[in-house]
């Protein structure tokens, strides 16, 4: 089963990505890592040369759609009308999905339009298992793919309900509406930073994500957070036919630490462990806890020094 990890390091330097790469090399060395990077592509390629399974891709967008979107941004109301046209074309047109996404990309915040890029990339890859992940604040502690079958998709949930998180509530309301928010508000926040699944599951997830982006395009121009709002909606109300697993802190294979007090875990020998004795494969948002972050990073680098 070929494994692929897709992530984005645009704007990052080597120090921002090295710990994630070291953890992948240690705990899932057979996985291919596809990382989009910015203008420092050549420098990163040199600095990352020891990571044999790392494939750096320089992130680029088509020039003409960028210019059009920039010009429209100076005329009040025009950009929204432009987005409305693209929305209607998406719903009713025979134009290719990829072509419309390319035109729409300059209207969207980076974390939202990355799913257009992922959809295109996945069509070129032969892998069976995929992990879509944040980069700077993620570490592996084990192989994240061990529990994945053909219908499985996994994400982490945070120890807080949606209505208790002002930003998540706002993202859902702004992307969808108050009615959708009310159907979701008592669920726990599902985090879009880490999603793992089979090829079938991740293709369906990305397709549904992008369909919702295009369907709501006029409302989300330049907005931070629609990807998170849609991710929550999909894991609770979408992804029909898939086995969706929302993994909580302390018991799941994914830890999501933004709201965590760390009481759900035990730290030992440079690792963060579940109290439920289940292998914890992915730690996300560990940098919210500086002491823990220092311990995890120090242990990881020390292991590689000993290995050499």
Mean pLDDT of the chain: 95
d(CA 154, CA 296): 24
- Residue range 30-50: average pLDDT? 97
The whole-number pLDDT of residue 276 equals 85
- Decide if pLDDT at 308 tops 70: no
Question: In this predicted model, which residue has the larger pLDDT, 76 or 49?
Answer: 49
d(CA 123, CA 145): 20
The whole-number pLDDT of residue 268 equals 86
Instruction: Give pLDDT tens digits for 250-269.
Output: 999 999 999 999 999 998 88
- Residue range 117-134: average pLDDT? 98
- Residue range 71-91: average pLDDT? 92
The whole-number pLDDT of residue 239 equals 98
- Residue range 123-145: average pLDDT? 97
Could you tell me which of 135, 123, 190 has the C-alpha nearest to residue 160? 190
- Decide if pLDDT at 91 tops 80: yes
Instruction: Give pLDDT tens digits for 149-207.
Output: 999 999 999 999 999 999 999 999 999 999 999 999 999 999 999 999 999 999 999 99
d(CA 105, CA 83): 10
- Decide if pLDDT at 117 tops 70: yes
- CA geometry: angle at 257 spanning 233 and 178, to 5°? 25
- Decide if pLDDT at 305 tops 80: no
Fold of 3-60+108-307: Spore Coat Polysaccharide Biosynthesis Protein SpsA; Chain A (3.90.550)
- Residue range 259-282: average pLDDT? 91
- Decide if pLDDT at 111 tops 70: yes
Q: Where are the domains of the chain?
A: 3-60+108-307
Please provide the DSSP assignment of 212-233 as one string.
HHHHTGGG-TT-S-HHHHHHHH
- Residue range 37-46: average pLDDT? 97
293: left (phi over 0), alpha (psi -120 to 50) or beta: alpha
d(CA 121, CA 17): 21
pTM, to two decimals: 0.95
- Residue range 283-307: average pLDDT? 86
Strands 32-37 and 3-8: parallel
Question: In this predicted model, which residue has the larger pLDDT, 95 or 232?
Answer: 232
At a CB cut-off of 8 Å and minimum separation 6, what does 140 contact? Answer: 20, 23, 24, 26, 27, 28, 281, 282, 283
The whole-number pLDDT of residue 301 equals 82
């Amino acid at each position: 089963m070929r494994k692929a990890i897709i992530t984005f390091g645009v704007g990052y330097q080597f120090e921002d990505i090295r710990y994630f790469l070291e953890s992948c090399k240690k705990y899932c060395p057979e996985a291919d890592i596809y990382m989009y990077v910015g203008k420092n592509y050549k420098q990163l390629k040199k600095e990352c040369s020891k990571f044999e399974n790392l494939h750096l891709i320089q992130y680029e967008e088509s020039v003409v759609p960028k210019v059009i979107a920039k010009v429209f941004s100076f005329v009040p109301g025009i950009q929204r009308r432009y987005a409305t046209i693209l929305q209607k074309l998406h719903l009713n047109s025979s134009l290719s999905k990829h072509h419309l996404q390319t035109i729409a990309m300059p209207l969207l915040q980076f974390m939202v339009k990355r799913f257009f890029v992922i959809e295109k990339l996945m069509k070129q890859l032969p892998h069976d298992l995929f992990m879509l992940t944040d980069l700077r604040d993620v570490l592996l502690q084990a192989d994240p793919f061990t529990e994945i079958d053909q219908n499985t998709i996994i994400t982490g949930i945070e120890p807080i309900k949606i209505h208790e998180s002002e930003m998540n509530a706002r993202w859902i309301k702004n992307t969808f509406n108050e009615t959708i928010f009310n159907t979701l508000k008592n669920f726990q926040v599902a985090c879009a930073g880490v999603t793992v699944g089979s090829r079938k599951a991740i293709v369906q997830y990305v397709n549904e994500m992008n369909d919702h982006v295009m369907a709501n395009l006029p409302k989300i121009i330049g907005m931070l957070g629609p990807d998170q709002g849609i991710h929550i909606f999909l894991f609770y109300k979408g992804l029909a036919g898939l086995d969706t697993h929302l993994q909580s802190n302390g018991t799941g294979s994914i830890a999501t630490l933004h709201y965590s007090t760390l009481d759900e875990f035990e730290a030992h020998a440079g690792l963060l462990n579940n109290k439920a004795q289940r292998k914890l494969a992915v730690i996300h948002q560990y940098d919210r806890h500086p002491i823990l972050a220092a311990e995890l990073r120090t242990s990881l680098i020390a292991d590689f020094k000993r290995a050499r």
